[in-house]
Structure 1
Amino acid sequence: MQTQLAPEIFPHIRIVMGMVIGLGITRLLTGVAGLVQHPKRASLSSIHLLWVTSMLLELIHFWWWQFALFHLNDWTFGVFFFLIAYTTVLFLLAALLFPDNISEYAGYEDFFLQRRQWFFGLFAASFVLDLIDTLIKGQANWDRYGIEYYFQTPIGIAVCVLAMWTANRKVHLVLVCAHLVYQLSWIFRLFNTVT
């Protein structure tokens, strides 16, 4: 049943994933628009703005790379549920960058640094979810990433643990800059075209 319906199932699942990813993108863009509209409401922070940029790129990239699911023939509710859970984690990361109210904090950076355990805990979870997502897409997809992929997840999780542990602004600035550079490199080296 699932093999025959795979071409019909994928667009349906992609629409549901797109709704959740779209909410995350909307949250980030609305937050940025709020910063432009009310620049004195909260002080701007390079750490915060760089993570906003990184998460926007992550959400867009996620939507792009999930096209590889088109080749999946065996769809189950478990796979569907997993994908929705993964997109939910990405949405929550976006929501943590632009909370509903920051009146209890000195600004977005203060909020981010005080809530860093939540942000980096979810971010670490996204590395694990990415591994599962890659396995779902099959061995050929896994092999495409090469030996680098075996190091990416443990290093990513270790960096998240470090970021959870320290509130040092300089450390966080270095981490987000390094992440953005690696993220862009990863995207353009391996995901520039859909296969």
Structure 2
Amino acid sequence: MDAPRIAMDASSPAELFPHIRIVMGTVVGLGITRLLMTVASIVQHPNRGRRSVVHLLWVGSMLLELVLFWWWEFALFRLQYWTFGIALFIIFYAITLFMMAALLSPDNVGDYDGYEDFFLKRRNWFFGLLAATFVLDTIDTLIKGGIYLERFNLGYFMQVPVGMVLCVIAWRSSDRRVHLAIVSIHIVYQFYLIGQFFNTAAG
């Protein structure tokens, strides 16, 4: 029982990170694949389910979110101390994003009045998970700590209270205009992050 523990303790952060990144990348890749298959299905079978601007905008936003997460996590290579808890947290974060992608990629919308009807009837799950990602992202940033944390301004940390409020509004409302406004705000904020923090090397 002691030998594996000794081997793990002897591993450097540089050796551990690629293994965690492979698992994380697999989960992210599954989410991207699921979303792309949904887009392909809509193109191939346009009459199978009523298309929705709200749904497609969230699909595009979620694709971008998965790519940003994958890029964002490059900063973990600087982490000097890994624990099983940190590794589990990173994988759990990736799984949360995958679940959001899955909620945008129904296997069958035959029982619903198209993709928008499906999305609105599953919005509590989707926006519950989205609210969780704001908290998870903050924890992720704190884990990276130090110099990494100093890069961010108030605009980044305001995402948690503002994001939570928007998620509650989306949770409570089935108004299409409300959902169009919220997904538009989310996409604008994603591009703000790209312009502010992603024009240089990751991390």
> Which of the five TM-score ranges fits, normalised by the shorter chain?
over 0.9
Offset from partner CA, 1:112-157 (integer Å, 9 cap, x none): 0111000000000000000110011013222211122231111011
- Pairwise CA RMSD of aligned residues? 1.3
Aligned residue identity for 1:43: R
**Within 5 Å, which residues of 2 pair with 1:172-183?**
172-183=179-190
TM-score by length of 2: 0.93
For the 8 Å contact 1:3–1:74, the answer to whether it is kept is no
Distance in 1, matches of 2:105 and 2:81, equals: 37
**Equivalent residue, structure 2, for 1:165:** 172
In the alignment, which of 141, 149, 152 is matched to residue 142 of structure 1?
A: 149
Aligned residue identity for 2:29: G
Distance in 2, matches of 1:86 and 1:38, equals: 32
In the alignment, which of 65, 71, 76 is matched to residue 72 of structure 2?
A: 65
Greater C-alpha Rg: 2
Name the count of aligned residue pairs.
195
Asked if residue 109 in structure 1 is aligned to residue 80 in structure 2, the reply is no
Runs of 4 or more above 2 Å deviation: 1-4
**Equivalent residue, structure 1, for 2:15:** 8
Unaligned runs of at least 5 residues, structure 2: 1-7
Distance in 1, matches of 2:21 and 2:187, equals: 26
TM-score by length of 1: 0.96
For the 8 Å contact 1:116–1:163, the answer to whether it is kept is yes
For the 8 Å contact 2:49–2:110, the answer to whether it is kept is no
**Equivalent residue, structure 2, for 1:83:** 90
Offset from partner CA, 1:35-78 (integer Å, 9 cap, x none): 01101101110000000000000000100110000100101100
Asked if residue 120 in structure 1 is aligned to residue 112 in structure 2, the reply is no
